Amino acid sequence: MPSTFAVTVEPATSMRGRVRPPGDKSISHRYAMLAAIAEGPTMIHGYSTGADCASTLSCLRALGVPIEQLKRDRTTGLDLEILGVQIRGFQPPAATLDAGNSGSTIRMLSGILAAHPFKTTISGDSSLKRRPMKRIITPLERMGARFISDDGRPPLTVVGNSDLQGIDFTPDVPSAQVKSAVLLAGLHADGITRVVEPMSTRDHTERALEAFGANVLRAGTAVAVRGGQRLIGGVFHVPGDISSAAFWMVAAAALPGSDVTIEHVGLNPSRTGIVDILQRMGAQVTTAVAHAQAGEPIGTISVRHGDLRTATIAPSEVAGVIDELPVLAALATHGGELSVSGAQELRVKESDRISALAEGLRVMGGEIDEQPDGFHVRGRTRLRGGEVDAKNDHRLAMAFAIAALGARGPTVIHDAGAAAVSYPEFFNVLESLRA
């Protein structure tokens, strides 16, 4: 992955234009995995061009799933045809699977592999090898699988079992990846598997399962599936990724005279927390749902600058904006103030996002206090720019770029190529939106 190169970002006066973000990363992973275990062929249009979603495809291919890429387009993404091998149809892989930088790949795929009666080892890059897996190991072992790892970090060996039992499970961290891993295992288990979340997380797995023909029971923050259900392949369109769109939404909110419209973007309510927070911080934001595909609302978001205000993100809101917190911190460097608490999960993302964010923003001249579970950014003084390290973390590379737009001088971002994990076109689009 071309993650080592540096990019220099010059200040901007305003951002204007229309953007179609890449296919949603979360939804792309799920459609590929469900298509793989479905009956019959599935066409996926607009699959994410990011490296993370390519990792899911390469792991599935190594497990014997036929996948053909029919088209690749910079704007509309990938078109794929996946020939489903049906429930428990994976073949034992010849070698260790490489999940690259992708936590979603290793965690969700482990849920499916838990039901396959062979051993699969999954590893990844140096960031992935630091990420905690006990959160999926604990419930999947209760269901009957076994795992081998070094204290819950990858490489992770899944010792599958074709005789899984359904469980009732309450995760102790709010995580859609954990919920999804357990539900995917539950699809292969005896009886009912139920996950009761302490706090709701994105529900793309639930919606996708239904779109592939499964029955999903939902009540409050509980979701359950009965084992033994068949999934049926079909035609799927991936909406644009609101977490990628968030960079342009924030840039427009931050810079006077800006006006940016995001097209064909996913507007699933479990992902639109960013809209509420931008409005609270003073931006003018409008959203319009145009239609829904496979249960996922899709539409447009328009953002114009407003005077930035002080805002707080409460612990109960964190799961809904977990991936947007770095760029929201960048917004507060342009003006206003932002404090976030209850976000300790940020410390176990692709990097320790609290400390790496604080380090980078301080180098640029920002005022940021770091707490164990959050941060406080004050936008009283204009950033000066500087040389920052994205720590091989895609969202940090892009968040620093958005902060840099408001600085007095240029900012050099090391490891900027990490953006390709979710948004390979990011730096080209950035230049095209400068007014």
In the complex, which residues of this chain contact ligand S3P (CB under 6 A)? 26, 103-104, 175-177, 180, 202, 322-323, 345
Minimum distance from CB of 109 to ligand S3P (Å)? 12
Tell me how far CA of residue 219 lies from CA of 195, 226, 371, in angstroms: 11, 15, 35
* Two structure tokens written together for 341: 């608490």
Cα angle: 266, vertex 271, 273; to 5 degrees? 125
CB of 187 to ligand S3P, least distance (A): 16
Collapsed DSSP state (helix, strand, coil) of residue 370: strand
Contacts of 175 (CB under 8 A, 6+ apart): 135, 201, 345
Q: What is the DSSP letter of 94?
A: S
CB of 342 to ligand S3P, least distance (A): 13
Torsion over CA of 419, 425, 426 and 431, rounded to 10 degrees? 140
Take residue 136 and report the two structure tokens written for it.
């999926």
Which residues does the annotation mark as catalytic?
A: 323
Find the shortest distance in angstroms from Cβ 63 to ligand S3P: 19
Q: Of 180 and 333, which CB lies nearer to ligand S3P in the complex structure?
A: 180
**296 vs 345, beta carbon nearer ligand S3P:** 345
310-313 and 337-340 strand pairing: parallel
Backbone angles phi, psi at 157, to 5 degrees: -105, 125
What are 292's strand-pairing partners?
A: 297
Report the alpha-carbon distance of residue 254 to residue 132 in Å, rounded.
35
Instruction: Strand 310-313: give its sheet, edge to edge.
Output: 310-313, 337-340, 374-378, 367-371
| Segment (H or E) for 386 | strand 386-389
Q: Sign of the CA dihedral 334, 342, 23, 206?
A: negative
Indicate the residue among 239 and 406 with the shorter CB distance to ligand S3P: 239
Task: Give me the phi and psi of 248, to 5 degrees please.
Answer: -75, -35
* Least Å from the CB of residue 244 to ligand S3P: 11
| Of residues 270 and 284, the one with the C-beta less far from ligand S3P | 270
